[in-house]
């Protein structure tokens, strides 16, 4: 006959198991795709305002490289790029809000690093933009190298990889500096623009974008030095492989499309192609979309509504934009860069 004490112990064990399961679910959510479909939209965490990457206009319409990637994910799932809702996040809150499921994906100029995956239980599916940290200085300083910045006051955003890279660079080159740290990017820009700092450091892509916000953009020059590796990638929660695969292969589909010459303008012709690689991309051969939990034409949806990788790059940050950032490392591997996607086969 079961005693009261034995029943109490069993009850406690069950309670502990339930609590453990709840904690595991909180940390490792495996239902992002199902919840996204039920909700009818993808929740995307983006930068609050970075020209070329993610910025809203006066009517709240978002544009940018990172914004278009979120729209590509929405297009793959819903065949509708407008079913992406953008939630602006500070650098200090972005990973926490992803963990807390306020957003489904971060598409917010975030550097992929080992500590971020291990410490935050997050996953960076693939590199969307190869970047590196650099410096911008007033043209009047007549500085043409980072090695001439000894003794400078440097504006930097706190709680970012930028802050650590800055310290490493000056220490490695036996130079001294004073870090002027600010939690919000807009405060960093204001401090530099007001002359509080001699130098402003950030990812080179950010420097091109943020220079446009300075009172006299032409009076500032971006130095040629690139002092770090900054592979910028979308971010998702760990232990949610179905969702991670969709995010990863959305990017890879866009890169493969550019390599194959498939664009938003010729996608209808591509559907008639008899080239094996093109047929697998557009879904007229194989069942690659279904294996992702999507439709056969998942990649067609992405390309038709958003474009291939090159189209997205050029209109937002490349030759078709105010930033005019050279493709550089983000050129396809077959054209001198390192952008390279595994094949769809």
Highest mean pLDDT among 20-24, 26-30, 319-323: 319-323
* 18 pLDDT above the threshold of 70: no
* Per-residue pLDDT, 8: 52
Computed over every residue of the chain, the mean pLDDT equals 92
Of 113-117, 119-123, 152-156, the range with the highest mean pLDDT is 152-156
User: Does 28 have pLDDT greater than 60?
Assistant: no
- Determine the average pLDDT of the residues in 123-136: 97
Instruction: Over range 37-42, report the average pLDDT.
Output: 97
Assess contact for 318 and 325: CB atoms under 8 A: yes
pLDDT at 22: 42
Judge whether residue 121 has pLDDT over 60: yes
Confidence of residue 20 (pLDDT cuts 50, 70, 90): very low
Q: Is the pLDDT of residue 10 over 90?
A: no
* % of the chain surpassing 90 pLDDT: 88
Q: What's the pLDDT at 337?
A: 97
Residue 30 has pLDDT above 80, yes or no: no
Question: Span 288-317, mean pLDDT?
Answer: 97
Q: Residue 17's pLDDT band (boundaries 50, 70, 90)? A: very low
What is the model's pLDDT at position 159? Answer: 85
Structure tokens at 232: 């910028």
For residue 32, give the 3-state DSSP assignment: helix
Whole-angstrom distance, CA of residue 345 vs CA of residue 343: 6
Segment (H or E) for 232: strand 230-232
pLDDT at 21: 40
Q: In this predicted model, what pLDDT tens digit does every residue of 178-222 receive, in sequence order? A: 999 999 989 999 999 999 999 999 999 999 999 999 999 999 999
Q: Which residues on adjacent β-strands are paired with residue 138? A: 220
Confidence of residue 105 (pLDDT cuts 50, 70, 90): very high
When mean pLDDT is compared across 7-16, 43-52, 92-101, 319-328, the lowest value belongs to 7-16
Residue 6: pLDDT over 80: no
Per the document, the length of the chain is 345
Angle, CA 206 vertex, CA 204 and CA 212 arms, to 5°: 115
Nearest to 112 by CA among 89, 95, 92, 99: 95
pLDDT at 24: 43
Strands (E), 89-209: 105-106, 122-123, 129-131, 133-138, 152-157, 177-182, 199-203
d(Cα 125, Cα 255) in Å, to the nearest integer?
14
pLDDT in tens, 211-224: 999 999 999 999 99
Express each pLDDT in 234-282 by its tens digit: 999 999 999 999 999 999 999 999 999 999 999 999 999 999 999 999 9
pLDDT digits (tens, 9 = 90+) for 77-99: 999 999 999 999 998 899 999 99
In angstroms, what CA-CA distances link 265 with 127, 178, 273, 309, 320?
Answer: 25, 51, 15, 13, 16
């Amino acid at each position: 006959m079961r005693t009261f004490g034995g029943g109490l112990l069993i009850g406690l064990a069950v309670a502990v198991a339930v609590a453990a399961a709840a904690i595991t679910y909180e940390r490792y959510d495996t239902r992002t795709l199902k919840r996204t479909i039920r909700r009818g939209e993808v929740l995307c965490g983006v930068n609050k305002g970075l020209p070329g990457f993610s910025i809203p206009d006066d009517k709240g319409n978002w544009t940018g490289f990172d914004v278009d990637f979120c729209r590509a994910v929405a297009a793959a799932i819903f065949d509708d790029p407008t079913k992406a809702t953008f939630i602006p996040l500070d650098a200090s809150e972005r990973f926490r809000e992803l963990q807390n499921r306020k957003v489904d994906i971060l598409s917010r100029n975030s550097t992929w690093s080992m500590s971020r995956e291990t410490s935050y239980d997050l996953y960076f599916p693939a590199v969307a933009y190869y970047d590196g940290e650099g410096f911008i200085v007033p043209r009047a300083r007549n500085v043409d190298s980072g090695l001439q910045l000894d003794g400078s006051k440097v504006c930097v955003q706190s709680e970012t990889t930028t802050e650590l890279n800055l310290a490493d660079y000056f220490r490695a080159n036996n130079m001294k500096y004073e870090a002027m740290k600010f939690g919000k990017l807009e405060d960093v820009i204001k401090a530099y623009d007001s002359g509080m700092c001699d130098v402003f450091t950030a990812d080179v892509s950010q420097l091109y974008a943020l220079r446009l916000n300075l009172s006299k953009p032409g009076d500032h020059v971006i130095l040629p030095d690139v002092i770090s590796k900054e592979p910028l990638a979308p971010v998702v929660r760990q232990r949610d492989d179905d969702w991670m695969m969709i995010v990863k292969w959305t990017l890879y589909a866009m890169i493969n499309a550019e390599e194959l010459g498939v664009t938003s303008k010729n996608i209808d012709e591509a559907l008639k192609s008899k080239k094996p690689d093109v047929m697998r991309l557009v879904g007229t051969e194989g069942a690659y979309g279904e294996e992702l939990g999507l439709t056969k034409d998942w990649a067609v949806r992405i390309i038709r509504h958003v474009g291939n990788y090159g189209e997205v790059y050029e209109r937002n940050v490349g030759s078709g934009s105010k930033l005019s950032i050279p493709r550089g490392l983000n050129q396809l591997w077959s054209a001198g860069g390192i952008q390279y996607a595994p094949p769809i086969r």
